Structure 1
Amino acid sequence: MVVMLGIDVHKNTHTAVAVEQVERKLDQKTVRATDAGHRQLLRWALRNWPDTELTFAVEDCRHVSTRLERALLAAGQTVVRVPPKLMAGARSSARTRGKSDPIDALAIARAALREPNLPAATHDSVSREVKLLVDHREDLVNTRTQMQNRLRWHLHELDPELDPTARSLDRLCELDRLTAWLAQQPASMVVRIATELVTDIRALTVRANALERELAQRMAHLAPRLLAIPGCGALTAAKIVGETANVTRFRSEACFAMHAGVAPIPASSGKTNRHRLARGGNRQLNAALHRIAVTQTRLAGPGRDYIHRRRTTGDTTMEALRALKRRLARVVYNTLHHDTTQQPTTLPAAA
């Protein structure tokens, strides 16, 4: 007998619902989102189903489920991550109407039973550190972008003819020029705020550039073959490593492609044979593969040649691009496997 325990995670509480293989609800329990609550949840599961194969299905919200996953994995339990879109589909097909933590937990458990090849959660401190660094850098860049937008309006108020070119506010030489120009302006509140913004933008730029260099060094050590793929720079490689979170947890490259949201969905009817865009999966990982694909279409090589072949067979540009992303998922999966296991293999450098 196999018991699936779906867990709806929140900042303060976790609600678990136990379901058997025929998707019949067995029991439910709500605990505090603390270490003591995690131990209480584990004792409850082991006490009620002592001689049963247990699988914990957790909604993939790692900002609130990380500590729970660590506690379950440390206890030797099997943990799988359920994408929120799958949970929503299972909930809409249930006879129980409405929304609550037990209803969501039941939907998570049923979605995990219907999708046996979901990626398992694993301990991987290396990829987690990379993801934390990537997310931190992106937060700094987003904050810098907001400041740059405000700075442009203040500069326009001071002098409409002073219009820095696009993306020039990321360069330290341009920031130095603006600092010198502002120092020559008559004292006013707008000049003061603009000067402070330039100073803050400079500080954020220095920190973001330092993080980019650190990520580049980590990727050169962790995934050197990934960097060899045309169109895959250090930041894109770091995004892939961080979002993949240990490629060995995927049973096959098809599972990896499904997780990345690049597995085309059949949309054929009659004489029409086509596939449509998959809107599920990890959109951050999907975006990283998209950047590689778009870059390869601009470079002479296998990627551009593949797009051309697909276009000559009748595919639209977007359909050809989606097909290229699917091939890139295979290349990335095999490359990550090589970098992880260090097993010699021959892989193409592009799609």
Structure 2
Amino acid sequence: MHVVGIDGHKKTHTLVAVDPLGRRVSEVTVAATPAGHAQAIKWFTQFGRVLLAIEDCRHLTRRFEADLLVAGHEVVRVHTRLMAGARRSARERGKSDPIDAEAVARVALREPDLPRASLAGPARDVKLLADHRRRLVRSRTAAANKLRWFLHEIDPELPVPSRGLRRLCVFDALAAALADHAGVVVEIARDLVVECRRLTEQINALEARLRKLVEVLAPSLLAIPGCGVLSAAVLIGETAGANRFKSKDAYARFTGTAPIPVWSSNKIRVRLNRGGNRAINHALHMIAVTQVRRGGEGADYFAKQLARGKTPKEAVRLLRRRISDRVFRALLADEGAAQPTTAPSDLPVRLAA
């Protein structure tokens, strides 16, 4: 079976076909438009059944991936770091779109377990909403920090509760207090109060929408102690389908909870994995901390590790790995119970996160 490597860009996509031995057979460059996508599909059908390998730049290739999947083709994603070794070992030196596409194809030949692209379902909606909420929270934090300094300048004795600039009642009280003052600083402070209130209303609306989605998609995930709606939304959106991982160990490597081996000869050693998906890793850490604080099974496991001589940091890391395995099982159970809800009209333009 031939493999077609795809190097995607904003305006064009370059495709290179290689045979089972990795030798370049043919290449073509098409426009990054629906007509260009149709031209590419027609071009590689000359090779019969092919495996399509595409550089993992979904912000550039999401629509192309969708068109390929709708046409019934198998698509795998190649991370950019895997291409570097393929380029260095190639006979042709330099860097160009055909060279990159050929490197993508050769990586797909040697790596049997590359992630496979799939059409999007509700999980991508959860990811988009969670990411949008995170951006709004950052904007509100920046506006609130500036507002606090202006409020201190206007009236140092004006009471502003800790973490109060996220409650609508506090914004109402600040608006009433600022009505008795005048000046440019006060005008800016009023604008910041309005902005913080608007952002808070948007954040609250997104959280309510996420709650409805998560309660339907992941009841088993929410049943895990310490896992709230926002943590569950991150886990669902960033995982993008637990069934694409062959085991809980593969999922642990993805989440950064599996240690990295650094040993030689007879002494086996491992070190902390600082890679993996950091958003999921953070969500797992917050679940672990919550379990330790609230007591129960997680706290008992934490205490057992401390009794064995582990430091608190090491005990939390072990608990985090334990939670990663449980999250993986919960996601598999929820995905197995879920019914496909993707509308046919959405298929050409929506892809899994």
The verdict on a shared fold, with TM-score over 0.5 as the criterion, is: yes
- Other-structure match for 2:245: 250
Matched, 1:298 2:277: no
**Counterpart residue identity of residue 160, structure 2:** P
Matched, 1:197 2:196: no
Between 326-335 and 310-319, the greater mean CA deviation after superposition:
310-319
User: Against the structure 1 CA distance between its residues 316 and 287, is the aligned structure 2 distance closer, same or farther, given a 3 Å change threshold?
Assistant: same
- Other-structure match for 1:6: 5
Matched, 1:225 2:224: no
**Larger RCO (CA within 8 A; separation ≥ 6):** 2
Cα deviation digits, residues 111-142 of structure 1 (max 9, x gap): 33343222211123211221221122222222
Spell out the pairing of 1:1-351 with structure 2 (5 A cutoff): 2-47=1-46, 49-50=47-48, 52=49, 54-88=50-84, 90-91=86-87, 98-162=94-158, 164-186=160-182, 188-269=183-264, 272-313=267-308, 315-342=310-337
Contact 1:151 1:197 in 2 (8 A): yes
Structure 2 residue runs of 5 or longer lacking an equivalent are 339-353
Contact 1:263 1:278 in 2 (8 A): yes
Between 302-311 and 120-129, the greater mean CA deviation after superposition:
302-311
Segments ≥4 residues shifted beyond 6 Å? none
User: Against the structure 1 CA distance between its residues 202 and 276, is the aligned structure 2 distance closer, same or farther, given a 3 Å change threshold?
Assistant: same
**DSSP 3-state at the match of 2:301:** helix
**Counterpart residue identity of residue 45, structure 2:** L
User: Against the structure 1 CA distance between its residues 27 and 259, is the aligned structure 2 distance closer, same or farther, given a 3 Å change threshold?
Assistant: farther
Contact 1:4 1:19 in 2 (8 A): yes
User: Against the structure 1 CA distance between its residues 157 and 3, is the aligned structure 2 distance closer, same or farther, given a 3 Å change threshold?
Assistant: farther
For 1:32 and 1:105, the matched residues in 2 are separated by 15
User: Against the structure 1 CA distance between its residues 256 and 37, is the aligned structure 2 distance closer, same or farther, given a 3 Å change threshold?
Assistant: farther
**Counterpart residue identity of residue 292, structure 2:** T
Cα deviation digits, residues 317-351 of structure 1 (max 9, x gap): 444433333332221121111112139xxxxxxxx
- Other-structure match for 2:350: none
- Other-structure match for 1:348: none
Cα deviation digits, residues 271-318 of structure 1 (max 9, x gap): 653322334433333332232223223332332333344445455544
Structure 1 residue 208: deviation in Å? 0.7
**DSSP 3-state at the match of 1:112:** helix
**Counterpart residue identity of residue 284, structure 2:** L
For 2:96 and 2:216, the matched residues in 1 are separated by 45
**DSSP 3-state at the match of 1:168:** coil
Cα deviation digits, residues 152-192 of structure 1 (max 9, x gap): 23223323454734422111122122111211112x22211
Structure 1 residue 84: deviation in Å? 3.5
Question: Percent of pairs identical after alignment?
Answer: 51
**DSSP 3-state at the match of 2:26:** strand
Structure 1 residue 58: deviation in Å? 2.4
Structure 1 residue 195: deviation in Å? 0.4
**Counterpart residue identity of residue 237, structure 1:** A
User: Against the structure 1 CA distance between its residues 13 and 323, is the aligned structure 2 distance closer, same or farther, given a 3 Å change threshold?
Assistant: farther
Cα deviation digits, residues 247-284 of structure 1 (max 9, x gap): 22333333333333333211224565332233443333
For 2:186 and 2:29, the matched residues in 1 are separated by 55
Structure 1 residue 70: deviation in Å? 0.8
**Root mean square deviation, CA, Å:** 2.7
For 1:178 and 1:156, the matched residues in 2 are separated by 12
User: Against the structure 1 CA distance between its residues 25 and 301, is the aligned structure 2 distance closer, same or farther, given a 3 Å change threshold?
Assistant: farther
User: Against the structure 1 CA distance between its residues 157 and 143, is the aligned structure 2 distance closer, same or farther, given a 3 Å change threshold?
Assistant: same
For 2:32 and 2:99, the matched residues in 1 are separated by 18
